[in-house]
Amino acid sequence: MRLAHNSAGANLVSGVASTLLDARGAELGLFEVDEAALPEVATRVQPRAVCLGNLFRDQLDRYGELELVAARWRKAVRELRTDAALLLNGDDPLVGDLARDRPGAIVFGVDDPSAARPSLQHAADSKYCVRCGTPYEYAAAYVGHLGDYRCPACGHSRPLLAVVAREIALAGLESTSFRLVTPAGTAPVRLGVPGLYNIYNALAATALAISLGASLDDVVAGLESFSAAFGRFERITIGDRRLLMLLIKNPAGANEAVRTIFDGGPPSLVVVALNDAIADGRDVSWIWDVDFEPLIPGLQRLVATGDRAAELALRFKYGGLDADAIEVLPSLERALDRGLELTPPGGELVVLPTYTAMLALRKLVAERGFVRPYWERAA
C-alpha cells in the first residue's frame, strides 16, 4: 500500500500539508501530529482514525498547560466524523477520559503490575482526578502518570482495556517481549527496541491497525520488524568504539532513557547534551524534574555539552555528583571527541541528547562517514 507519511518528523500543519503535496497516488495517509496542531490538522484532514497517546509535561513554554491541551483535544474529538475511529491510551487519565464522549472508542493500556514502578515518579503530571480533583490511587504506575488509577472519592478509574500488553519482559537495551491481547486474538510479541514506553507505542500502533482492518498476524509481523526512529535509540559504530544515543526531551521520556541505560549496566561515563532551541523547549527547567540520580553513584565522568551545558552540569552537581567529575564542553563536536577519547577500544559511549543536539550529533557522525543521513534511509 502506498503511504503518505511525515517520517522525518515535520509534525505541524505545514509538515502535514507538504507531505500530502508530495504524495501523489498515496492510498493512505499516516501522520504523527504535534499535540497543539492536532485540532487544526483534524479539521482539515478529516481523518478516518485518530490515535491519542499521552500528555506529558513536554514543552510547557510553547503550549501552556496540560489541561489546556486536553480541553482542545476534547473539542477536536467531539468534532470528528461520526464514522472515524478513536484510539485512546486508557492509562493516561486525561486521554482515557475522552472515551466518555465516544462510546465506540478503542482503549489500550498495560496490565502487568510486575512491570510497574514502585511509586509514582516525581515528574508525574496528572495525579489528580480529572473529574473531582482528589489524588488518584494507583494499583500500578508504569511510565510517569500512566498506569492503573482509581479515584477513591468519585470512583473515576481507568476505562476497560480492549488492546492490552501482559506478561512483559524487559531485556535491557536489546529488546522487550510481551503478550498482546486484542479483540482479534492474542499473540506473543518480541520488539527489537527497549523500554516500557515502546510497549505503549506498540499498543497504539496495534489499536490503530486493527481499527483499519489489519489482521493480528500482520500487526505482529509489523511490530517485530520495527526499528527505532533515527536518534531516539540508536547504536552507531565509530571505528573500534560504539555510540549509544538515546533522545531525551521531557522528564517522562528522559526517566525511561535513564532506566533503560541503567538496566543495561550503569555507565561510568556519559555525555549529556542540552540545547534550548524552540524544538528542544526554551525553558530548560525540565531537566530538574528528571530522575538522573540512579546514574550518579556509578559515574566517574560526566561530559556536559550543548548550548545549556553549564545548567546541565549544575543538575548533576546538585544531584550529588562531585564537581571534579564534571567537564563542561558546550561544543558538541568537542564533547563527542572527548567522550570517544575516554571510551576504551571496544567500549560503548552513552550519549543522551535533546532533539536539536541529537540532529547535530548525527550530522557530525554522518560527515565522518559512519552513518547515513536519515533522509536517505526513509522508506
Partner 1 sequence: MRIVVGHLYPDYLNIYADRGNIAVLARRAAWRGHELEVRTISVGDALISGEHDLLYVGGGQDREQALVARDLVQKAAGIFETVADGAALLAVCGGYQLLGRFYRDTSGDELPGIGLFPHETTAGTSRMIGDVLLECELDPGIRRALAGFENHAGRTRLDPGAQPLGRVVAGFGNDGESGWEGCRVGRAVGTYLHGPLLPRNPWFADWLIAQALARRLGDPPELAPLPDELELQAHAVSAARAESRGGRR
Catalytic residues: 283
DSSP 157: B
Listed residue (158, 246, 124) closest to 195, CA to CA: 246
- CB of 85 within 8 A of CB of 232? no
Contacts (CB under 8 A) with partner 1, residues 269-288? 276, 282-288
User: Considering the complex, what minimum distance in angstroms separates the CB of residue 361 from partner 1?
Assistant: 20
Cβ-based nearer residue to partner 1, 163 or 304: 304
What is the SS3 assignment for 119-148?
CCCCCCCCCECCCCCCECEEEEEEECCEEE
Cβ-based nearer residue to partner 1, 285 or 300: 285
Listed residue (106, 99, 108) closest to 78, CA to CA: 99
Quick one: which of 72, 102, 150, 317 contacts partner 1 (CB under 8 A)?
317
Quick check: 128 binds partner 1 (CB under 8 A)?
yes
Pairing status of strand 241-246 against strand 233-238 = antiparallel
Quick check: 379 binds partner 1 (CB under 8 A)?
no
Quick check: 57 binds partner 1 (CB under 8 A)?
yes
Cβ-based nearer residue to partner 1, 65 or 101: 65
Helix (H) or strand (E) holding 364: helix 355-367
Quick check: 308 binds partner 1 (CB under 8 A)?
yes
E strand segments, the chain: 3-5, 28-30, 49-52, 85-89, 106-110, 137-143, 146-150, 163-171, 175-182, 185-191, 233-238, 241-246, 269-273, 301-305, 326-328, 348-353
User: Considering the complex, what minimum distance in angstroms separates the CB of residue 259 from partner 1?
Assistant: 19
Quick check: 78 binds partner 1 (CB under 8 A)?
no
- The number of residues that bind partner 1 (CB under 8 A) is 34
- CB of 160 within 8 A of CB of 107? yes
Contacts (CB under 8 A) with partner 1, residues 204-263? none
d(CA 283, CA 292): 18
User: Considering the complex, what minimum distance in angstroms separates the CB of residue 232 from partner 1?
Assistant: 24
Cβ-based nearer residue to partner 1, 176 or 275: 275
Cβ-based nearer residue to partner 1, 298 or 320: 320
Quick check: 332 binds partner 1 (CB under 8 A)?
no
Question: Interface residues with partner 1 (CB under 8 A)?
Answer: 57, 60-61, 64-67, 122, 127-128, 133, 135, 276, 282-289, 307-308, 310-311, 313-315, 317-319, 323, 326, 328
